Amino acid sequence: MIRVFVVDDHELVRRGVVDLLEREPDIEVVGESDSAKHTLGRIMATRPDVALLDVRLPDGNGIDLCREILERSPDTRCLMLTAYDDEQALYSAVLAGAMGYVLKDIRGSGLVEGVRNASRGISSINAALRKAAMARMRAKQEDPRFETLTEREHEVLTGVADGLSNRQIGAELGLAEKTVKNHMSSILAKLGLQSRTQAALLMKKV
């Protein structure tokens, strides 16, 4: 049996996903949650094969949760579920170690296949995109100007490079727009830059 834990703050979506998965003879839903706060403890208690995580949660985001789950329970595979086809979130999911990135408008059979693939360690993320994300990360690691940035600041900066506004970055990362603005000020100070345009150009070079 493939043991699955479902995290989504929308009850109707969550219940629909749970009902869909439980119809499959080889899948068992061992738990569900509507927020990031209580999920990690429940994951540790149930030790699922696959954690199906909504990217956007009311008290955080599924990408950070994915990273935390893999640190505490490396045998659990994470599959991201989102309503938004966003390249920045996809890059972040790759770097967090997610096995897949599934849009909520996918057919039920596609979601089930994604869960089965994740349980087997098969990534449903395009290989070229995964390679590009890893290359991007390595390039940043090799440039000493990026060493002082926190992981969250790296995510904000990547959003800037992708042309997203502070509001869009905040929506994707589960942050207030003011918080993103504060991160951006910190990024510019650490990199010795004057504007977000300069920061975006620096990111595109790597």
CA distances from 69 to 5, 12, 36, 74 (A): 12, 24, 11, 7
pLDDT band at 85 (very low <50, low <70, confident <90, very high): low
Statement: residue 149 has pLDDT above 80: yes
Q: Are 56 and 171 in contact (CB under 8 A)?
A: yes
Q: Over the stretch 19-73, which tens digit does the pLDDT of each residue have?
A: 999 999 999 999 999 988 889 999 999 999 999 999 888 888 888 899 899 888 8
* Angle at which helices 62-72 and 39-46 cross, to 10°: 40
Q: Which of 84, 21, 23 is nearest to 49 (CA)?
A: 21
User: What pLDDT does 34 receive?
Assistant: 92
pTM: 0.65
Percentage of residues in the chain with pLDDT exceeding 70? 85
